[in-house]
């Protein structure tokens, strides 16, 4: 048996005579349902991929609007092809590179559209004839073709079975069409009777995107018909806006394709293909993929008598391992944001939804993905080298400039403050300070001059300033840890600027104008998407947005009792957000919004004021109502793993409110038991005694055999291994965490 190293996954190539049956999928993989979140506004990817792989291979529907950002929505029944790159859970659309579509009959390059697809190469499909798990996607199209797909990190593995009829099997190689972007130049060349190569250059959400590919067929290609702008050309290679139709010798009825991609070149795509594929045993690739996912999911092993919970939990684990995506070839090369080719010593990553993920996903990674944290930080530092500032929302070699803040700073700060040292710390601090003072970021020049961003000078000014303040806390504490007191003091002051937006007469955050007066009139419930004072939220949502220092927020409200009264009211206030409100504002409980990120820490603020049991109630409600095992089972955009990471941490009973403090606040565990391998062979175990049903309240806590009065646990205590025991009950223990000494806290400089 031959062994090949596949980007850290030890892969065995052996003989498999048939697809592994369902029961052999693996104990944990069997709980994963990729359909969860494919309905409503979840926007998740549906298809097959390796954990954090470069390739996400799956079906594309026609673009029908915002809910098709991933290329697929559960409500749909039309497919136009199977592409090798997809986004998962985002609120914007892009990618869909190198689209393959099998069909029968005459040569056909007519794409059609969702309300007029007759005579096109598109086909209907039905969920009854569709199957998906992370390692395998299968569907029988109405056109008669049976599709089976799996992946390696850089290669899409296709198997197409054509019906026995008098029509000719064809496969369309479509490098022109994508999802929400525009191809600017494409190329296809027939290299030999088994091989095609080419590329796709496009502009979309990512301003520049290049995908090179090599396609290998197990069946000889009789003919390749090429089209430029849908007009036939009599050549074996052509650039322009290209589509190609493959016809095979002997009218063969089963065809397998291996399609490798690269951001660098066709030569690198071939290196990826040669490193990750050997032979044409499709089922073996499925088995290798399943092994990789079983290993990935075992980073947390949970015990529960609730099988539905385990389905939701392990699907969430799956969703946290789609992005960031591997963005380098097997030789370490990748295309940077300046369109130059670089080489990494580790692994380079892209698809970093940082405004979303700094809150829960990246803190989760510091526990479960410790092998990736340094590479993620180094990837962001290299982006600074390429573009002159830290990334905001980087996607496949380009900066989207999407969402407010410089959220890479939270991720870098959290890593450093937790002891990760696989990157140049001095460079990281220099780059964070430089970025935080860079006028390229909206409103920074006003922030430096005035200590706030005027609402009459910048759209979403208030939320932008408040986002900057969170990151500035991280800069201050990294600088202090590195002995740079002047930087520490300057950014510690900037981290408190949310004071400037707190109007005590209204007891809410309020936009401030350039002349120093409040915006008048002002309705804290109204929201205006993209042009208002707040990003994807309103004044009530942002009135609790100071995760970097909840204690100071509590002081602004007048102390514990008044703060709790105000926080209680958040979940009761009703009102019309207005016609211009963002569709991202979903999953409301009063004015609390779980379907969008700025509210994600809010449920965990009660322990800072001494009433931990109220967090238990609210977290239990959200986990039960807003996370289900149905296609509409995620209440808002999944956002590259953030919604799922919130659920995972909350199900474990912990959440890091300050995204850089290393202080994980207790909520209410949904697991009966969870085992997490941490470091040096150690395991951290969470046990919830008397758990389930109405027993959502923590009665007492034991850490490593000793009574533990605190309503939080430190990161170091998790990573040192041991056992955290929650003793649960059906009534609140009002004394648990009531004393100030037992509450979560914010480290000071």
pLDDT class of 748 with cuts at 50, 70, 90: very high
Contact 468, 440 (CB under 8 A): no
Name which residue leads in pLDDT, 10 or 616: 616
User: Mean pLDDT across the chain, nearest whole number?
Assistant: 95
Order of strands across the sheet that contains 663-666: 654-656, 663-666, 712-714
DSSP class of residue 402 equals: -
Q: Give the model's pLDDT for residue 69.
A: 97
pLDDT band at 15 (very low <50, low <70, confident <90, very high): very low
Give the burial class of 116: count Cβ atoms within 10 A of its Cβ; 0-12 exposed, 13-18 middle, 19 or more buried. Answer: exposed
Is pLDDT larger for residue 713 or for residue 236?
713
Produce one character per residue of 394-414: b if its CB has 16 or more CB atoms within 10 Å, e if not. Answer: bbbbbbbebbbbbbbbbbbbb
pLDDT, one tens digit per residue, over 665-684 is 999 999 999 999 998 899 99
Least confident of 24-28, 430-434, 447-451, 592-596: 24-28
498 vs 718, which has greater pLDDT?
718
Phi, psi angle pair for 594, to nearest 5°: -90, -20
Q: How confident is the model at residue 250 (pLDDT cuts 50, 70, 90)?
A: confident
Residue 719 near residue 667 (C-beta atoms within 8 A): no
Q: Does a cis peptide bond (omega within 30 degrees of 0) precede residue 521?
A: yes
Q: What are the Cα distances from residue 145, in Å, to 167, 390, 516?
A: 12, 46, 66
Per residue in 452-480, pLDDT (tens digit) is: 999 999 999 999 999 999 999 999 999 99
pLDDT over 70 for what percent of the chain?
Answer: 97
Distance from C-alpha of 552 to C-alpha of 736, rounded to nearest angstrom? 22
Instruction: Tell whether the model's pLDDT for residue 67 goes beyond 60.
Output: yes
Q: How many CB atoms lie within 10 A of CB 2?
A: 9
- Residue 724 tokens, joined: 């955290």
- The per-residue pLDDT for 24 is 60
**Tokens of residue 719, six digits:** 């990573």
pLDDT(569) > 90: yes
Name the H helices within 558-641: 560-570, 612-626
Residues β-bridged to residue 684: 676, 722
In the block, which residue shows the tokens 């380079």? Answer: 348
* pLDDT tens by residue, 548-563: 999 999 999 999 999 9
Helix (H, G, I), strand (E, B) or coil at 364: helix
Radius of gyration of the chain (CA): 26
Taking the whole predicted model, whether its pTM rises above 0.85 is answered as yes
What pLDDT does 14 receive? Answer: 30
User: Which structure tokens are listed for 539?
Assistant: 């004044």
Four-residue CA torsion sign, 535, 540, 541, 546: positive
Instruction: Dump pLDDT digits (tens) for 632-674.
Output: 999 999 999 999 999 999 999 999 999 999 999 999 999 999 9
Q: Write the DSSP assignment of 15-41 as a string of letters.
A: --SSPPPGGGS-TTGGG--TTTTSSTT
pLDDT 10s digits, 411-427:
999 999 999 999 999 99
* Euclidean distance between CA atoms 463 and 453, whole angstroms: 9
**Mean pLDDT in residue range 595-611:** 97
What is the distance in angstroms between the CA of the first residue and the CA of the last residue of the chain? Answer: 57
DSSP code, position 251: G
């Amino acid at each position: 048996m031959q062994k090949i190293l596949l980007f850290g996954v030890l892969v065995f190539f052996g003989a498999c005579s048939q697809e592994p049956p369902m029961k052999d999928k693996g104990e944990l993989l069997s709980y994963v349902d990729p359909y969860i979140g494919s309905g409503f506004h979840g926007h998740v990817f549906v298809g097959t991929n390796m954990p954090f792989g470069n390739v996400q291979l799956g079906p594309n529907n026609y673009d029908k609007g915002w809910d098709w950002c991933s290329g697929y929505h559960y409500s749909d029944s039309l497919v136009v092809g199977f592409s090798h790159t997809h986004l998962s859970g985002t609120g914007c659309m892009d990618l869909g590179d190198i689209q393959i579509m099998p069909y029968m009959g005459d040569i056909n390059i007519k794409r059609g559209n969702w309300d007029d697809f007759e005579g096109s190469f598109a086909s209907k499909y039905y969920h009854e004839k569709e199957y998906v798990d992370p390692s395998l996607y299968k569907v029988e199209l109405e056109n008669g073709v049976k599709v089976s797909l799996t992946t390696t990190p850089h290669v899409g593995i296709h198997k197409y079975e054509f019906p026995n009829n008098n029509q000719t099997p064809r496969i369309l190689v479509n490098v022109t069409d994508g999802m929400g972007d525009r191809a600017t130049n494409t190329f296809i060349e027939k290299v030999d009777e088994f091989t095609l190569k080419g590329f796709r250059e496009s502009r979309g959400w990512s301003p520049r995107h290049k995908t090179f590919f090599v396609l290998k067929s197990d069946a000889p290609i009789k003919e390749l018909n090429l089209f430029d702008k849908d007009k036939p050309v009599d050549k074996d290679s052509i650039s322009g806006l290209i589509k190609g139709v493959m016809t095979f010798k002997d009218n063969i009825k089963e065809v397998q394709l291996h399609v490798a991609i690269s951001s660098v070149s066709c030569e690198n795509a071939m290196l990826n293909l040669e490193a990750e594929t050997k032979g044409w045993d499709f089922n073996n690739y499925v088995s290798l993929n399943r092994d990789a996912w079983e290993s990935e999911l075992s980073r947390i092993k949970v015990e529960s008598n609730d099988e539905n919970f385990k389905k939701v939990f392990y699907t969430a684990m799956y969703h946290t391992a789609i992005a960031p995506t591997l963005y380098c070839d097997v030789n370490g090369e990748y295309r940077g944001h300046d369109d130059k080719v670089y080489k990494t010593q580790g692994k380079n990553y892209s698809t970093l939804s940082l405004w979303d993920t700094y809150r829960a996903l990246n803190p989760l990674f510091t526990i479960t993905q410790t092998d990736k944290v340094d590479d993620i930080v180094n990837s962001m530092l290299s982006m600074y080298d390429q573009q002159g500032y830290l990334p905001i929302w980087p996607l496949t070699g380009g900066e989207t400039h999407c969402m407010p803040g410089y959220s890479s700073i939270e991720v870098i700060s959290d890593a450093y403050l937790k002891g990760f040292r696989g990157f140049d710390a001095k460079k990281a601090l220099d780059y964070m300070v430089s970025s935080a003072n860079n006028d390229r970021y909206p409103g920074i020049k006003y922030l430096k001059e005035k200590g706030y961003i005027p609402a009459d000078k910048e759209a979403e000014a208030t939320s932008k300033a408040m986002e900057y303040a969170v990151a500035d806390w991280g800069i201050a504490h990294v600088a202090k840890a590195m002995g740079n007191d002047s930087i520490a003091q300057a950014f510690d002051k900037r981290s408190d600027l949310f004071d400037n937006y707190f109007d005590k007469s209204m007891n809410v955050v309020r936009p401030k104008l350039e002349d120093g007066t409040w915006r008048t009139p002002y309705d804290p419930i109204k929201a205006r998407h993209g042009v208002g004072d707040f990003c994807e939220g309103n004044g009530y949502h942002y009135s609790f947005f100071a995760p970097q220092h909840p204690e100071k927020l509590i002081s602004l409200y007048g102390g514990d009792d008044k703060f709790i009264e105000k926080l209680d009211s958040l979940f009761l206030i009703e009102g019309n957000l207005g016609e211009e409100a963002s569709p991202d504002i979903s999953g409301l409980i009063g004015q609390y919004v779980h379907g969008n990120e700025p509210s994600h820490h809010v449920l965990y603020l009660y322990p800072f004021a001494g009433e931990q049991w109220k967090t238990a109630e609210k977290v239990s409600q959200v986990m039960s109502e807003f996370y289900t095992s149905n296609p509409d089972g995620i209440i808002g955009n999944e956002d590259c793993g953030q919604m799922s990471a919130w659920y995972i941490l909350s199900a474990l009973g912990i959440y890091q409110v300050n995204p850089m403090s290393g202080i994980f606040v207790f909520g209410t565990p949904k697991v009966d038991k969870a085992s997490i391998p941490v470091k040096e062979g150690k395991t951290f175990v969470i046990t919830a005694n008397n758990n389930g049903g109405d027993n959502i309240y923590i009665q007492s806590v034991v850490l490593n055999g000793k009574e533990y009065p605190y309503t939080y646990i430190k990161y170091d205590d998790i990573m040192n291994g041991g056992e955290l025991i929650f003793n649960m009950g059906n009534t609140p223990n009002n004394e648990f965490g009531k004393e100030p000494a037992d509450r979560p806290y914010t480290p000071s400089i």
